[in-house]
């Protein structure tokens, strides 16, 4: 199965994921599931936590205020959005944009795992502590886990089924919405990602 068909199959599963605690909330509010978007041959894959209201209304990841910041950070690092793949662990909007629950991560996590296997990125950039925790544990880096305040900007070497991979922990772009003073830190962290991407 080629990448396009494989990713389409994941999207089809997501649409009818009735075992999800968020399925009824999605259908009641006429929201869309947010599978992800970008290049199927991406070297870099971004993994956030869960879609917000704008994302659930459009079915597109990072299309609201945090998405605008992400676009700015990508540009600052010399990375084109269309060259990367962007998704979340949880692929439906939690009520009131609350943090994803363990059960939600358990239900949606396998879909993310399948996306990673399909795209086979060389770099996974995690956005926020939930994404960092999930990805680090999945790639046997649990012993290296530390608070996002210490981990941000760091690169971790790991092994995927298809070869070596680098995981880079980043703050979620939304932190700059609440505290504009964090933008220089975010920019510096994305510069680290940009340097790595230029080597790929």
Asked if residues 85 and 46 have their Cβ atoms less than 8 Å apart, the reply is yes
* Residue 198 pLDDT grade (very low, low, confident, very high; cuts 50, 70, 90): low
Tens of pLDDT, residues 76-91: 999 999 999 999 999 9
3-state secondary structure of 113: helix
Residue in the block written with tokens 């910041």: 69
The C-alpha R_g of the chain, in whole angstroms, comes to 16
Q: What is the pTM of this model?
A: 0.95
Residue 44 predicted with pLDDT over 60:
yes
Higher pLDDT, 200 or 110: 110
Asked if residues 187 and 71 have their Cβ atoms less than 8 Å apart, the reply is no
* Residue 200 pLDDT grade (very low, low, confident, very high; cuts 50, 70, 90): very low
Q: What is the dihedral of CA 41, 191, 176, 173, to 10 degrees?
A: 20
Classify domain 3-199 by CATH number.
3.40.470.10
Strand-strand pairing, 37-38 and 44-48: unpaired
Structure tokens at 38: 């970008």
The predicted pLDDT at position 199 comes to: 52
Residue 160 predicted with pLDDT over 80:
yes
Report the Cα 118 to chain-centroid distance in Å. Answer: 15
In sequence order, the β-bridge partners of residue 155 are 168
Residue 196 predicted with pLDDT over 80:
no
Structure tokens at 149: 């305040």
Structure tokens at 134: 């999930």
Asked if residues 104 and 94 have their Cβ atoms less than 8 Å apart, the reply is yes
* Residue 42 pLDDT grade (very low, low, confident, very high; cuts 50, 70, 90): very high
User: What does the chain come to in residues?
Assistant: 200
Asked if residues 66 and 41 have their Cβ atoms less than 8 Å apart, the reply is no
Q: What is the mean pLDDT of the chain?
A: 94
- The helix-helix angle for 129-138 and 102-119 (nearest 10°) equals 60
Average pLDDT score over residue span 93-111: 95
């Amino acid at each position: 199965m080629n990448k396009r068909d494989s990713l389409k199959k994941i999207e089809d599963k997501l649409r009818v994921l009735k075992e999800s605690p968020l399925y009824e909330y999605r259908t009641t509010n006429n929201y869309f599931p947010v599978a992800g978007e970008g290049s199927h041959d991406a070297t870099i894959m971004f993994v956030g936590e869960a879609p917000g209201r704008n994302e659930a209304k459009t079915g597109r990841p990072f299309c609201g205020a945090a998405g605008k910041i992400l676009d700015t950070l990508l540009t600052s690092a010399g990375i084109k959005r269309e060259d990367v793949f962007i998704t979340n662990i949880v692929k439906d909007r939690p009520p009131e944009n609350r943090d994803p629950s363990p059960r939600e991560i358990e239900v949606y996590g396998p879909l993310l795992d399948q996306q990673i296997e399909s795209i086979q990125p060389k770099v996974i950039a995690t956005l926020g502590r939930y994404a960092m925790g999930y990805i680090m544990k999945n790639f046997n880096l649990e012993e290296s886990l530390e608070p996002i305040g210490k981990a941000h900007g760091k690169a971790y070497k790991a092994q995927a089924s298809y070869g070596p991979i680098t995981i880079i922990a980043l703050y979620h772009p939304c932190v700059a919405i609440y505290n504009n003073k964090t933008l220089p830190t975010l920019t510096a962290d994305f510069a680290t990602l940009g340097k790595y991407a230029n080597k790929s």
